[in-house]
Structure 1
Amino acid sequence: MNLRRIIVATAAVSVLAASPAYADETPDVPIGTRLAAQTHPAVQLTSLTYTGKVSVPTPAVNEANLYALVDKITADVVAGKVASDQRTIAKYMFEQMNANVGAYLVPGTPNRVVDAEVGGMCTGWWVTPDGYMVTGAHCVEMGEKELHDVFAQQALSKFYEEDAQGILEMVKDLSPDEEMIKLAENLFINFNAANMQVNGLKKEIAVLQAHPGGGVDKTAKPIVAELVDVGESYPGKDYALLKVNGQQNLPTVPLGGDADVQVGSTLYISGFPGLVTNTPFFSLESKLDPALTEGPYNALRTTDKGVPYIQTQAPSYHGNSGGPVFSKDGDVIGMLIAGTVSEGGEASENESFVLPISVIKEKLNEKGIKPTASATTTRWNTALDAFFLKHYSEALPIFREVQALHPTHPWVAEYITNSQQAITAGKDESPQSSGFWLLIGAGVIVAILLGLVLLRLLVKSAKRKKRAQIPVYNGAPPYQAQAQQIPAYQPPQAHSLPPAESTTRYRPPSQPYQAYQQAHGGQQHGQQHGQQPNGGPVPQPQPYGHQPQQPQPRDRNVADLERELEQLRRQLGNRPPQ
């Protein structure tokens, strides 16, 4: 049996066991998945609501102008400018009336009155834990003309639908199609917008916070927001700052810089597209969760008012306005403001325009608002880092801490449930606690100490067996042996190992999207073999009746073994403290 190889191999395995190593801890999680999980809690649905008493006169036909229009259309048909079929002639007539509504429809009696409530929804995002929110200027106010148009479309729909049906009765034999119906309705929408009066007008801006677990249902009450600052609607600096009082520990999003992205970078838009929130096919709870879209940074444009806007192909829709736009690192680099629309007013694929973050920071600075990361968000991101590494038992208590910091957090309850289920299913891959590794490390040190003592005893025992023996003569000795003073026996002294530093404990990272690392450091410890603690030579036992001999070289294998053990001892000493 090769004792040397067994001892060295055992010591090497022990050192490896005492220093736990972690495999590549960069999880294969898509950027968008991580980014959505980190930022969605801070992205909120906002509402702008106007209420008032609206009155509008009953429309009457200006017969003289209408007869003149009929004569013109007849001449155009004869001249071949318009097709002669009745459907085409009817559509052409409605188009001409829409071009100059006031010439063909005039106010009549009686006035029709209705209590109206109109408005729209946008997206906003928290920038401070105490309730400051950023959104778009056009999300918090409307001009007079725009407001009248909205009232005419939303509040007076009953009236314009009835009026349009009355005029379509005249051409019912033509079986009006969708286009003809739309032309007739627009005629009366435009009339109502031009002739309505609104009394007792009130405006309210609110934030609709999601319930724990996500989503907003009919029981959710909007929280009124104060308008602190507002810019100029697109193509100006389309920016607004809101404040919701009585808030603390709100989730927030970090702000980046203009230089974080460039042409070709991928941008991520977060918000509430009206294409989804206004459809009846999805549940109210699910369709009011933020949606994330992505696309390339195409170009940097400047409007005729000198305001920069980023053009991107990340899809956006009505309702996305005011939403944050992120870089791949999860920092806000701008705010979604506008998009291209079709002739019918629908959003078209795929041009969106983003107000750069530098403009937003400029406006925040004017009001002395300093964006701040909340404790809720900091701990939330730490928990997510562990969760995506499948360290569920490590993530679970941090998620509970987040829940305590912000009880109405929209997604923490779901992550707590998912973590518990993963642990129960045996999917937890959390590393062992540092205390476990400290116990292993202490056991290894004791084992090596005992091994060194045993080794030294074996070495000394072997040397004593090799001592030279006194010659034995059959006859009388040639001389009388001289009496010598026998030195006291000095037992061999084992060198004590220095105390080992504590093992490295897993430390989760403080920044998102970065690989996990372990720090290593420390100083070397230990004394040179062959010396006592006071620096003197180790005494060697002497045989009787002879002069002291020079120390014999130690066995080469034993010397090599001691050097390797010394190296292992120093490696233990190099482990960093907790």
Structure 2
Amino acid sequence: MRRVMGALAAAWLGVAALPALPGTAAADERRVPEATRLAARSHPAVQLVMTRYSAELTVPSVGLRDAAFRRLTREVTADVLKGEIPRDKLSIAKALVGRMGKDVDTYLRPIGPDRTVRASTTGTCTGWWVTADGYMVTGAHCVKPDEKQIATTFAKQALTDLAKRDAVNVRALLEGVRADDELNRMSAAMFAGFNAGHLRMRGLTQTTGVLQSVPGGGVDKTARELPAEVVATGESYPGKDVAVLKVGNVANLPTLELGDDRDVQVGDTLFIDGFPGTVTGNGTLSLDSRLQPTFTQGPYNAQRTTRSGVPYLQTQAPAYGGNSGGPVFGDEGRVVGILIAGLNDADGQAAQNQQLVLPVSVVKEKLRERNIRPALSPASIAYNQALDSFFQRHYKRAVPKFREVQNLYPAHPYVARYLSESQSAISAGRDETPLPAAVWLAFVGCGGVAVAGVVLLVVVVRRRRAPAPAPSGPAGPFGAPPVPQQGTPWRPPAPQGVPAPFPPPPGHRPQQSRPNGGPPTPPW
């Protein structure tokens, strides 16, 4: 019995030692952070949107309001005597310019002649593909700002040279003052504010384009700008700040999946993808690196509603100018809103990490108006499946999927890199792809056959070694076989009520019987 149990145990251990079925080893899978997976899925569909404005600008020359300036000089002098302002000329000049900049029209006035320049400026935002054939979502204010916003942008960017010349003229009034960088910035900002308030525009034109990511991600000098048509717009914040663009002659674009407003609750984590201007416009960074999308995250703080009744979500996920129009995701990886604006503090300055997100239901409403049906493209479905395998280190399973993406969308900006990394990992022996299900079943089947064979072998051996059964009859003491009586040969009793056998046919000769009346025992 011990040998039998030992054989069965050995056979069972052999089956148990076979590799586990797919999915049974998930507990020891090395988890990749959800944000890492989500950023990898999101980046291909997120694009830099550029809107260029061009117009003929007319601004008046600038003069001082003498009476107001003399009054301001007396006020600053009094503060110097009180010890509230240092007595050096530079500190006094900064105090004068700083107070003028807070109320420019009180101290500055337009005078002739007018100055006219032809100028252009560019604004950047974030957009993302919602259909494989080129429909994109962004913010309405990104492509339809009001004229006051455009005038302010022109005054800051296109009229910089005029503002600097005006600042030089005013500093000439501050005799003996050697301006530093801070005073120069304060003076230029003051005149930029004046020019924005007195600017007149004629012949304003606008063009919008999508700067297509290059292989490897991001944008560089080789990037191609795709012209985009604005097909639908809402109203800038605090309205329904969403717009829909269309790029022609494209197919199989990577897209994002839209979720539902109910997918997130206060306290959940929100994720933002896009192109913050703080990075995009940073000249210390290389062009290709600063034009790669930025991925941030933060809590969903509260639900807000504007005075006009438009819902917004408040989040602490970091974002800056240029992120506008970018997608916002919930934990499930679906888009739950679009980034629109940042909150300001009591002084009108941008509050740190306090953003407003337009819910995805408003985005869907705008898409329905144009009969646009957002969906994951075949390229994105294959790409997401490939990423799932890649992050599980199932590189052999990921490679054919990445190649499928390349065939569907050859201009995909990231697939070539992942494909190269997967092939390198396979060559280095780091692949952990499980065996196919058919192979697993074959292993299990072989193990079952092995167990059955062992069991059969044990049964046969036991039968070979077992003694022949004794004839039935009255048992002796302790179960010993019965002892026949002297002089009377023992025969088994005939069964009661059983008919006698048929008589043998004529000429029948009885054959010699074998032990126990059974067939011949084969040699094992």
Normalising by the smaller structure, the TM-score range is 0.7 to 0.9
Measured after TM superposition, the shift of residue 479 of structure 1 is: 9.5
Matched, 1:220 2:219: no
The one of 24, 27, 36 equivalent to 2:26 is: 24
Letter aligned with residue 437 of structure 2: S
Matched, 1:351 2:354: yes
Q: Is the 8 A contact 1:48 1:141 kept in 2?
A: no
Letter aligned with residue 303 of structure 2: L
Letter aligned with residue 72 of structure 2: I
Residues 31-51 of structure 1 show CA distances to partners (whole Å, capped at 9, x for unaligned) of 211111122211111111112
CA RMSD of aligned residues (A): 3.7
Q: How many residues align?
A: 489
TM-score by length of 1: 0.75
Q: Is the 8 A contact 1:102 1:191 kept in 2?
A: no
Matched, 1:230 2:233: yes
| Structure-to-structure mapping, 1:288-327, within 5 angstroms | 288-327=291-330
Change beyond 3 A, Cα 1:110–1:308 = closer
Residues 324-349 of structure 1 show CA distances to partners (whole Å, capped at 9, x for unaligned) of 11111212111111113579987442
In structure 1, the residue matched to 2:109 is 105
Measured after TM superposition, the shift of residue 140 of structure 1 is: 1.0
- Structure 1 CA distance for aligned equivalents of residues 90 and 288 of structure 2: 45
Letter aligned with residue 330 of structure 2: S
Measured after TM superposition, the shift of residue 92 of structure 1 is: 5.2
| Structure-to-structure mapping, 1:58-97, within 5 angstroms | 59-61=61-63, 65-66=65-66, 68-73=67-72, 75-76=74-75, 85=87, 86-87=89-90, 90-91=93-94, 93-94=96-97, 97=100
| Structure-to-structure mapping, 1:14-413, within 5 angstroms | 14-16=14-16, 20-21=20-21, 22-25=24-27, 26-57=29-60, 59-61=61-63, 65-66=65-66, 68-73=67-72, 75-76=74-75, 85=87, 86-87=89-90, 90-91=93-94, 93-94=96-97, 97-98=100-101, 99-101=103-105, 104-109=108-113, 111-114=115-118, 116-171=119-174, 173-341=176-344, 347-413=350-416
In structure 1, the residue matched to 2:508 is none
Q: Is the 8 A contact 1:17 1:440 kept in 2?
A: no
Letter aligned with residue 137 of structure 2: V
| Structure-to-structure mapping, 1:404-483, within 5 angstroms | 404-444=407-447, 446-448=449-451, 450-451=453-454, 454-455=457-458, 457-462=460-465, 465-466=468-469
Change beyond 3 A, Cα 1:247–1:464 = farther
Measured after TM superposition, the shift of residue 279 of structure 1 is: 0.8
User: Which residues of structure 1 form unaligned runs of 5+?
Assistant: 488-541, 549-578
Q: Is the 8 A contact 2:62 2:166 kept in 1?
A: no
Matched, 1:8 2:4: no
Q: Is the 8 A contact 2:304 2:314 kept in 1?
A: yes
Letter aligned with residue 166 of structure 2: D
Q: Is the 8 A contact 2:145 2:236 kept in 1?
A: no
Q: Is the 8 A contact 1:318 1:347 kept in 2?
A: no
2:174 aligned counterpart, secondary structure: helix
2:20 aligned counterpart, secondary structure: coil
Change beyond 3 A, Cα 1:346–1:377 = farther
TM-score by length of 2: 0.82
Which moves more between the two structures, 253-262 or 266-275?
253-262
User: Which residues of structure 2 form unaligned runs of 5+?
Assistant: 473-480, 495-500, 505-511, 519-524
- Structure 2 CA distance for aligned equivalents of residues 448 and 83 of structure 1: 96
1:174 aligned counterpart, secondary structure: coil
Change beyond 3 A, Cα 1:457–1:336 = same
Residues 386-420 of structure 1 show CA distances to partners (whole Å, capped at 9, x for unaligned) of 11111111112111111211112121111111111
Measured after TM superposition, the shift of residue 77 of structure 1 is: 5.5
Letter aligned with residue 4 of structure 2: R
- Structure 1 CA distance for aligned equivalents of residues 346 and 52 of structure 2: 26
Identity over aligned pairs, percent = 44
- Structure 1 CA distance for aligned equivalents of residues 9 and 387 of structure 2: 41
1:225 aligned counterpart, secondary structure: strand
Change beyond 3 A, Cα 1:118–1:78 = closer
- Structure 1 CA distance for aligned equivalents of residues 241 and 353 of structure 2: 20
- Structure 2 CA distance for aligned equivalents of residues 173 and 397 of structure 1: 74
Change beyond 3 A, Cα 1:100–1:545 = closer
Q: Is the 8 A contact 1:77 1:84 kept in 2?
A: no
